Amino acid sequence: MPVGTQGTVKGLTGRDLVEDLRVRILLANTYHLFLRPGHDLVRQMGGLHGFMNWPNAILTDSGGYQVFSLSGLRKITDEGVVFQSHLDGDRHTFTPESTIDVQLALGSDILMVLDECPEYPVSHEVARESMERTVRWARQAFEHYRRRIAESPTRHALFPIVQGSMFPDLRRRCAESLLELNAEGYAIGGLSVGEPRPLSLEMVEASEDILPRDRPRYAMGVGMPAELPEYVARGVDMMDCVLPTRNARNGCLFTSSGRIIIKHARYRDDSRPLDQYCQCYTCGKYSRAYLRHLFLSGEILYAMLATRHNIQRYLDIMREIRQAILSDSYPEYLKTVRSASADAG
C-alpha cells in the first residue's frame, strides 16, 4: 500500500495512481488528518474517498504510532494517550473509542485499533505491560466499533495489532489474546522501530502460526524491496511503507537490477531509462540524465516522476510474488530474489 499521509500520495494525482499504477488500496494517517483538515471536515466533504476523489480502498492507522513518533509531550494512561499537536502544540486525546470514531468519520475501509508502540529496546517488563494495554485497548475498540457499525449501512473492517516489542513469547501471547476478537484481519505492529532486520522477521514468525490463515495479515510500516518477499514467506499478505515515496523524493530509485542514487555523476549523460523492464510513465518517457537534472535543480517534476517509478517497482514486486504463489513456485522465486539481492550488495 502506498502511503497517502495527508490525503494525497505525495507527487501523484488520482489518475496516476488508479489508471497508470493500478493502485487498489492506499494508507492514510489518522493522526495527520485528525489535526488537519480535521475528521469532521473530511466527513462533511464525503469522507476521504470524496475529499480526495479516491475510488478504491483506504486503510487508516489509528494514529497511535504518529503520536509516539511525531508529537511533543505525550502521556499514556490506561484510558488513552494525551498528546500535543506537532503543528501548533494544541493538546488532544486519543482513546481506543475516539480513534474508531475518527476513522469512521474519515470513511476508512480498513480501520486499526489504537495500540501502544514501544520504542526499541525496552525491558521485557515494560514490553509486557505495554502489550497488555494494547490488548485491553483492542477489546474496548472492538466493543465500540461493533456498536457503531451496527447502525452503519457501510461495510468496514477493523484490525487489531500484535505488539510485544522484540520478545517472541510476548508476541505469541498477544496474538493468542487477540484471536478472541474474531477480527477480519490482523496487523503486526512495532516493527521498523530501530531493531536489526533479522529481528523484525523473527517477530513476524513468532505469531505466524497463531494468526488465522484465512484472514489477511498486515505487517505495518515495512519494508525495503528485498524484504517484501521475506515478509510474504512468513505469512504476510499486506504491507505499507513510505520508503518507495520518501526515497524517491530523496533521490533513491529502485530498479529490477538494484538501487540508483540519481545524483551520482555517472548518470549525467545516461540516456537510458531508470529500468528498461519497467512499464511506468517515467521509464517510458524520460532518461536518467533528465531525472538527474531535475533532481539537482530541485524541480517538482523530479518528485512526480521518481515517485511514480518507485511505486510501480513496489507493485511489480508484489505482482511477481502473487504470480509465483499462484504458479506454486514461491520457494524458487525466493531463492532467485535472495541471490539477486546478495549480488546487489
For the annotated catalytic residues, the residue numbers are 61, 240
If the CB atoms of residues 182 and 297 are measured against its own copies, the closer one turns out to be 297
If the CB atoms of residues 85 and 341 are measured against its own copies, the closer one turns out to be 85
C-beta neighbour count of 263 within 10 angstroms: 14
Q: In what order do the strands lie in the sheet with 25-28?
A: 25-28, 57-60, 110-112, 157-159
**CB of 275 within 8 A of CB of 282?**
no
CB 309 → its own copies: shortest distance, Å? Answer: 12
Q: Cis check for the bond before 37: say yes or no (omega within 30 of 0).
A: yes
3-state secondary structure of 112: strand
If the CB atoms of residues 170 and 278 are measured against its own copies, the closer one turns out to be 278
The sign of the CA dihedral 311, 312, 314, 315 is positive
CA end-to-end span of the chain: 26
Site stretch for its own copies (CB under 8 A), options 94-102, 150-158, 278-286, 331-339 = 278-286
**Which residues in the 254-273 window bind its own copies by CB under 8 A?**
268-269, 271
Binding of residue 85 to its own copies (CB under 8 A): no
3-state secondary structure of 158: strand
**Which residues in the 281-310 window bind its own copies by CB under 8 A?**
281, 285-287, 289-290, 292-294, 296-297, 299-301, 303-305
The sign of the CA dihedral 107, 119, 259, 333 is negative
| Residues that contact its own copies, how many (by CB under 8 A) | 38
If the CB atoms of residues 228 and 303 are measured against its own copies, the closer one turns out to be 303
CB 151 → its own copies: shortest distance, Å? Answer: 25
Site of interaction with its own copies (CB under 8 A): 6-8, 10-15, 36-37, 41, 44-46, 51-53, 268-269, 271, 281, 285-287, 289-290, 292-294, 296-297, 299-301, 303-305
